């Protein structure tokens, strides 16, 4: 029996419960979860990560729900997808990728896999922080100069 490989990808800067929810939901869609951690130089849609590439990859790899974690390719986001050959790519609920456009780009490259989107995680308690930006804002507010 072939294992159903799932890919999740993201920046994963300052891990928080929202990241864990995303990865748990992605893992539930298959038998093996591969996570591609974006290289700092490839993060252009938001502020660059605070933590370096290897530290973010190592933190993601340490999560029990993750079977394999790797850094993304520096030039072509489809290289690791081709190597992993997943059945499904799961996008985070708030990731900027367009599901249909990604599906078209995969098909154009001969990559046959489903594209799904994870659900949002609602805060469990009133002051819970579920985004790296909000964590940074809190740090600056409470500990900044």
* Annotated binding-site members: 11-12, 16-19, 94
CA distance 110 to 131: 34
- Which residues participate in the annotated binding site for ATP? 11-12, 16-19, 94
Question: DSSP readout, 70-113?
Answer: EEPPSS-THHHHHHH--SEEEE-TT-S--HHHHHHHHHHTT---
Beta-bridge mates of residue 21: none
What's the alpha-carbon Rg for the chain, to the nearest Å? 15
């Amino acid at each position: 029996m072939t294992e159903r490989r799932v890919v999740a990808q993201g920046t994963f800067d300052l891990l928080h419960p929202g990241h864990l929810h995303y990865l748990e939901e992605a893992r539930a869609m298959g038998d093996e979860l591969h996570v591609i951690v974006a290289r700092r130089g490839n993060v252009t849609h938001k502020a660059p990560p605070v933590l370096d590439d290897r530290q973010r990859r190592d933190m993601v790899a340490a999560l029990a729900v993750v079977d394999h974690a790797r850094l993304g390719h520096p030039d072509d986001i489809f290289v690791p997808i081709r190597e992993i050959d997943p059945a499904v790519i799961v996008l985070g609920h708030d990731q900027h990728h367009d599901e249909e456009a990604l599906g078209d780009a995969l098909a154009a490259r001969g990559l046959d896999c489903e594209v799904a989107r994870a659900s949002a995680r609602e805060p469990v308690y009133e002051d819970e922080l579920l985004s790296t930006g909000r964590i940074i804002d809190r740090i600056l507010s409470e500990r900044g100069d």
